[in-house]
Amino acid sequence: MPDENSPRWRTWTLVAMAILGAATVAALVLALSEANHQRDRAAAAQSHSYDVMIVSRTLAGTIARAEAALGRYVISGDRRLGQLYSDNWRSATTQLLRLSKLTGDNDIQRTTTNRLRVAIADRGKELSDVALSTSYRQNTQALARYYKAREAPSLKAIDDTLNQLIDEERVLLNARTSRADQAGSRASAIAQVLSVFGMCIVLAAILLGVLTVHALSDRAAAQAATEAAELRADDLAEAVARATDELRTQEEKLRQSQKMEAIGQLTGGIAHDFNNMLAVVSGGLELARRHIDQPDLALRHVDSAAEGAARAAALTRQLLTFSREGSVRMEPIEMGALLRGMSDLLDRTLGDGITLHVLDTAGEWRVFGDGVQVENAVLNLAVNARDAMEGRGEMIVRATARALRKDEVGRCAAGDYVALSVTDTGVGMAPDVVDRVFEPFFTTKPVGKGTGLGLSQVFGLVRRMNGEVEIETAPGRGSTVTLYLPRMVAGQAAVAPGAPTPPVSRMEEPEAPVPSGYRVLLVEDDPRVLSTSANALEELGHRVIPCSDPLEAPAVLAAQGPVDLIVTDVLMPRQTGPEMIAGLLKRQPGLPVLYVTGFAGDASGTAGFGHHRVLRKPFTLAGLERAVAAAVQDRYGHDDPSDRAAAA
């Protein structure tokens, strides 16, 4: 019976062993598959964590580079550094967006990333104020804001939040790695148990070995393909970098070419205007010489020449103000009259394709500011509106009287305002563009068509006048930019304290006779100006001691004896006027001084000149007469030279 059942038993044993072997092989395969799956998940989790930490560190570095570029921009005033700051800050914004995507699958990290976004937004506003002050050449204010920003809570909030985000990701990484290790350990234990059964099944081991060889071959092939792809990506990145560098080089050449073209147009226009004015001056003088025997006719031609010289002086003051070197002349401005005076200029600037309407309903309401800068602001807004309409459309420039409640428009206080608006029928702006339109260096125009500084300068002017800017726009519906400027109150000063006396024409006379007979030391390095100024002073009845070298002035003063007044140029080759005066006042303290200059920076205050009087070139005889009398009276309180000598 056993013998008969032996083949059957063997068969069932073989079947059982085959089934057991197959189950063992299946269990081994499942265990190995689970282990590989756990390792893959652990590797993916590690890669994700490393990405979060790398992006966090990169974001911190980008913000640090942006702040460093801004610091160098504040110190040097180099606009390329300002552009570098702007580029780095935009890169930081892009990196923050990527970080938000990476941490979006975790509620805790998403909350931390939201706090980081708020801190970076606050930091951006603080740094934007510093960049804005630097763009307006308010370097002292910009530097103070920069150092204050270094201590701002937002900077610490950014660092703390980034560190917290990295720490949270590190905790997640450790937890994921621990779980992966535990799962791998369990899979290994199961594999060890099953391997005991697998040892009895050689065929299963051979089959498993074949499968393993195939798996390793596939993995090696995949790794080789990955390395080849990485090499191709590196080559492509290098090629892109070379192309980018070449593009930047060509862009810089184009920008320089456009700058030179703009300078050529500017100098050509200035030369044209000056030639017209000089033609008036030279023609008037020549006609006066021809009619010297006819006093009335000659005087009329001289007046015409004087008017041409006054217009040339006004153009020079406008150029100095535009270059930030001229004085800011604060005065009452009737906006309707200003717009009417600009009508011809706007027509020529905008071209025939623009239909311009200039409306004035502000009546006689006035604002207090610099007329040249307000004109530049109107011109900037008009040019931007023209570009938005691509040179063809309808534009309305309007001045209206408005009474505002507190905070009705921006930060405006309650009161009367002159609303100056420019409306166009152009493409309009999206909300995200409106939010950034006043940022320095921000522009939506193509390369070479704008610097991004025009509207930021308008914004700075309005804020200096304690006003506000409002923009009404929508894509495809045009734009209206309105400047709210406070109405001038009664009794407000018409000219900034310390500002120089403007030139007057030949026909203007002093309000009251001024005394003469002063002993005047005149210091001027230009022989022609020295001779002309000496003749003018002698014409006014003063006794002039000329000196062509500031270094010789102490010796001349010692040889000639005390004088009543020193009249000196400011910028001279061997020594400046203020340097010379500092030495002379040690010999004769309290001596009246009158500075005469055509280029003295911002003369709205005289602190840089020891609070002495400053007379602008070119000047008239009447202006010189008043300036001399005022300089002496500032020191002695009266104008009689005999009384001054007696008091001495």
Question: Does 189 have pLDDT greater than 50?
Answer: yes
Q: Contact, 355 vs 390, CB < 8 A? A: no
* In contact, 53 and 99? CB cutoff 8 Å: no
pTM of the entire predicted model: 0.36
Tens of pLDDT, residue by residue over 209-267, are 555 667 567 778 878 888 888 888 888 888 888 888 887 787 677 666 655 655 555 55
**Sign of the dihedral through C-alpha 618, 620, 622, 624:** positive
Q: Which of 67-76, 537-546, 629-638 has the highest mean pLDDT?
A: 537-546
547, 522 in Cβ contact below 8 A? yes
The tokens 């005991």 sit on which residue? 196
Please give the pLDDT value at position 567. 95
Topology of domain 2-198, CATH = Four Helix Bundle (Hemerythrin (Met), subunit A) (1.20.120)
For residue 98, give both structure tokens: 């990527």
pLDDT of residue 501: 38
- Among the residue ranges 27-31, 445-449, 597-601, the one predicted with the least confidence is 445-449
How confident is the prediction for the chain on average, in pLDDT?
75
Instruction: Write down the pLDDT at residue 593.
Output: 92
pLDDT at 642: 45
Report the DSSP pairing between strands 593-597 and 565-569.
parallel
Instruction: Give the domain 333-486 fold.
Output: Heat Shock Protein 90 (3.30.565)
**Cα distances (angstroms) measured from residue 625 to each of 86, 154, 511, 563:** 53, 58, 11, 17
Section 270-285 average pLDDT: 62
In whole angstroms, give the CA distance from residue 283 to residue 305: 7
The residues facing 358 across adjacent strands are 397
CA atoms within 13 A on the CB side of 86: 17
Q: What is the pLDDT of residue 69?
A: 80
Residues 303-341 have pLDDT tens digits of 767 766 766 776 666 566 555 444 556 788 888 888 888
Q: What are phi and psi of 243, to 5 degrees?
A: -65, -40
Exposed / middle / buried, residue 285 (Cβ in 10 Å: 0-12, 13-18, 19+)? middle
C-alpha span between 358 and 377 (Å, rounded): 15
Q: Which residues of 488-522 are buried (b: 16+ CB within 10 A; e: fewer)?
A: beeeeeeebebbbbebbebeeeeeeebbbebbbbb
Question: What is the per-residue pLDDT for 275?
Answer: 59
Omega before 513 within 30 of 0, i.e. cis: no
Question: How many Å apart are CA 333 and CA 593, to the nearest integer?
Answer: 33
- Average pLDDT for 34-62: 78
Q: Which phi and psi angles does 374 have, rounded to 5°?
A: -65, -40
User: What DSSP element (H or E) covers 481?
Assistant: strand 479-486
Mean pLDDT across 585-609 = 70
> Whole-angstrom Cα distance, residue 441 to residue 453?
6
Q: What is the pLDDT of residues 468-486, one digit of tens each?
A: 888 888 888 888 989 899 9
- The DSSP output letter for 339 is H
Is CATH 3.30.300.30 the classification given to domain 293-329+497-648? no
Mean of the pLDDT values across residues 458-464?
79
Q: Please, which pLDDT band fits residue 456 given cuts at 50, 70 and 90?
A: low
| 517: three-class secondary structure by DSSP | coil
More confident residue, 190 or 109: 109
- Identify the helix (H) or strand (E) that includes residue 359: strand 354-361
pLDDT of residue 440: 58
Tell me which of 326 and 149 has the higher pLDDT.
149
Higher model confidence: residue 439 or residue 572?
A: 572
| 547-565 confidence digits (pLDDT tens) | 999 999 999 988 988 888 9
Residue in 559, 558, 564, 639 with CA at minimum distance from that of residue 594: 564
H or E stretch including 394?
Answer: strand 393-404
Q: What are the boundaries of each domain within the chain?
A: 2-198, 201-265, 293-329+497-648, 333-486
> Where is pLDDT greater, at 368 or 437?
368
3-state helix, strand, coil in the chain (%, to 5): 65, 10, 25
Residue 174 region by backbone torsions, left for phi larger than 0, else alpha for psi between -120 and 50, else beta? alpha
The DSSP result for 404-444, as a single string, is: E-TTSSTTPPSEEEEEEEEEE-S----HHHHHHTTSTT---
